[in-house]
Chains A and B, each alone.
Chain A
């Protein structure tokens, strides 16, 4: 069984989605994350074990390698997709409540901004770390963030912006959220954002890449 989990970890890390997936070329015709997760369950592995011993560590490796610039966005995306393949088997357990997420992360690109690739990468990696992600999309207003928080008051919030103009809109959104929900933690990111700016507007954390956000959330959850 340990062997199977190790294989699953490797499949996710290398981005092998399922048997028919041609990527990566050196694993052609071998089982992918989809098949391996199915087999692990069949052999009596607990869904929690699959998450903790294979999927989450695999995505953490991927995130760290991306932060160190050892791999690039395409490989990270293939790993996220492979994780998604394995998750198809785990979904029923989340729905029944047998397996729990680590928490909820609400993310959106702020008012006036339509960029979403960066935000999507953060969503994927946070999901890969075992969190439920509510992606509100782009051009998200304070009202939309607040409404989502109302439904999940224990959630952590992530804001993304790509221009200095829309970065300024973060300031108001952070202030509005903090006025209503003082305890809600807010992460900010996107090309023009810095740690200095994060502190200035009263947000809780800034990271230049998704893994920084994942590590911060990990500390929060533990």
Chain B
């Protein structure tokens, strides 16, 4: 099984303090100096404890079922549901990806919280989430570069557990990749270990497109990504 593997350094992700603050809910300039200082300190400590990896595998044996709104990849049927279906149905191949910040950052976050250093623990947690999202962005950019040369484009990335696509479908997704792909293990309850990991698919084709406003398509009222967008 051929796949493309990435190892990222934290510096490549260009995370900055105000980005972390904005994920925490703060609007520009609203955060206090001491909190910003602590975030900046934690960011410096993070380099040594994260192990940022991404991996994708492109599969061309795919078939769409317009009635059921499903996609069959390597003979496994995925119930991706209406929204995701509509966004990837013009693909002629699919990249299955995983991405992780490694387990160190989660362990560090828990340790700080246990020792009573609540804010530090929380900052590690938020940074861990941002790392994995940013790494996935980078990996996606790399994928785009490789397909562009053959005149193709990519879609956004879509993950089980979002837009009506059931989170348990991750079990099938993991069947499409070798075991220990990207160093991630999937538990029985469809939880990835390390915690700071994401999984999903990206459509590839001449007629697909990248949509910068996918949040408008989803009806989840509680998602903080949606809320963050509303505030901006």
Contact = CB atoms under 8 A, between A and B. Distances in A.
Task: Please say whether chains A and B are actual partners in one complex.
Answer: yes
Interface of A: 22-25, 69, 72-74, 77-78, 80-81, 84, 111-117, 120, 124, 163-166, 169, 191, 208
Given A73-B24, A116-B110, A163 B191 contact: yes
Nearest to B113: A120
Interface in B160-182: 161, 166-168
Contacts of A113: 189, 191
A114 B193 contact: yes
A22 B167 contact: no
Interface string B30-71: 011111000000000000000000000000000000000000
B77 interface: no
B119 A77 contact: yes
B9 interface: no
A165 B189 CA distance: 6
Interface in B76-130: 109-110, 113, 116, 118-119, 121-123, 125
Contact of B161 (A22, A84, A116, A163): A163
Contacts of B24: 72-74
B110 A165 contact: no
28 contacts: A22-B34, A24-B32, A24-B34, A25-B32, A25-B33, A25-B34, A72-B26, A73-B24, A74-B122, A74-B123, A77-B122, A78-B119, A81-B116, A84-B116, A111-B189, A112-B187, A112-B188, A112-B189, A113-B191, A114-B195, A116-B110, A116-B113, A117-B113, A124-B118, A164-B161, A164-B167, A165-B189, A169-B189
Contacts of A25: 32-34
A-B residue pairs, 9 tightest by C-beta: A112-B189, A72-B25, A77-B118, A23-B34, A165-B189, A77-B119, A165-B190, A166-B189, A22-B34
Nearest to A194: B222
A114 B197 CA distance: 13
Given A80-B118, A165-B168, 20 more contacts: A22-B34, A23-B34, A69-B25, A73-B122, A74-B31, A74-B119, A77-B122, A112-B189, A113-B191, A114-B195, A115-B195, A116-B110, A163-B167, A163-B189, A164-B161, A164-B166, A165-B189, A165-B190, A166-B191, A169-B189
Contacts of B34: 22-25
Given A164-B166, A165-B167, A165-B168, A23 B35 contact: yes
Given A164-B167, A208-B222, A114 B32 contact: no
Contacts of A84: 116
B125 A117 contact: yes
A81 B121 CA distance: 12
Contacts of B116: 81, 84
